[in-house]
Structure 1
Amino acid sequence: MDNASLKDLSIAAEYFAEVPFFDLDPMQIVWHGNYVKYFEEARCQLLRKIDYDYPDMKQSGYYWPIIDMRLKYVKPARYGDKLICIAVLKEFENRLKIEYQVQHAQSGEKLCKGYTAQVAVTVDTFEMQLISPPILKQKIEDYCEQL
């Protein structure tokens, strides 16, 4: 399996949230930094789905810090809005790239989109790996066999 064949599989997960008051800024819309939190929650759902969540990563000898993150804000979310954040695995060979879309759960209206990129570093020395460790590919293949 490689990045090209991954595109056909569309490995994705969803995170649902209702916007709490404490996520708002003085304009009474979701503060821009909170979308990062929504991305993180969806990413954790995706990693759990392939059985390679953060504790599993550490146990396998690697941390996966985020090295790049992009967000594009389309429309604001407001207090009480029900949101869905969709995370889709896009790359895994040299980095873990996940794309996101935050939308209104009921209308499907797009509010924010973006991506994160993570690379493997060893737990003991923090040495960056130029290719993803075999454990990630194995976890993805194991997940795909269950489909």
Structure 2
Amino acid sequence: MEFRVYYEDTDAGGVVYHARYLGFFERGRCEFLRTRGLSVRELADRGWIFPVVRLEIDYRAPAVLDDLVRVETEVLEVGKTSFTVGQQVVRLPDGKCLVAGRVTLVCVGPGMRPKRLPQELLAALRPEAP
């Protein structure tokens, strides 16, 4: 997913505020699933919600106002009720990795109780998925 850094993403120095990368990662995960035929909204409407339960993030270089960046997402692990993705924000056109992270999400239903990942999500998380 590619987009430009806007003023609203930056701090007083014109550098992307550290917490904004969490939103960038969230958008990247949603678009990753969308490219595989899944809608986070539709999954939620059917009772499957995926809160983040673990996050590791490394800030390597700053993104600044007006940078064109891409969020890249790859599946690292899939369990019965959770999955982990690796994500990074890359500056275009030089390809420099600005931020790298590892995010674990768990599938929950009503009452925030863990439940098995739905079959359509398991299929979308496979390496051979489109």
**TM-score range normalised by the length of the shorter chain:** 0.7 to 0.9
For 1:17, what is the secondary structure of its paired residue?
Answer: strand
Partner AA of 1:105 in structure 2? L
Alignment of 1:118-129 (within 5 A): 118-122=105-109, 124-129=110-115
- Distance in 2, matches of 1:117 and 1:38, equals 15
Q: Which entry has the higher C-alpha Rg, 1 or 2?
A: 1
> How many positions carry a matched residue from both structures?
129
Cα 1:28–1:118 shift into 2, 3 Å: same
Gaps of 5+ in 2: none
Q: Give the Å deviation of 1:108.
A: 0.3
- Distance in 1, matches of 2:50 and 2:93, equals 33
Worse-superposed segment, 90-99 or 35-44 = 90-99
* Percent identity of equivalent pairs: 22
Q: Give the Å deviation of 1:104.
A: 1.0
Partner AA of 1:27 in structure 2? G
1:37 is matched with: 23
TM-score by length of 1: 0.77
The structure in which a higher percent of residues are helix is 1
Q: Give the Å deviation of 1:56.
A: 2.6
- Distance in 2, matches of 1:26 and 1:67, equals 30
Partner AA of 2:42 in structure 1? D
Q: Give the Å deviation of 1:134.
A: 3.2
- Distance in 2, matches of 1:107 and 1:78, equals 14
Deviation string, structure 1 residues 44-86 (Cα, Å, up to 9, x no partner): 1111122232123224431111111121100001111111110
Match of 1:134 among 95, 106, 119: 119
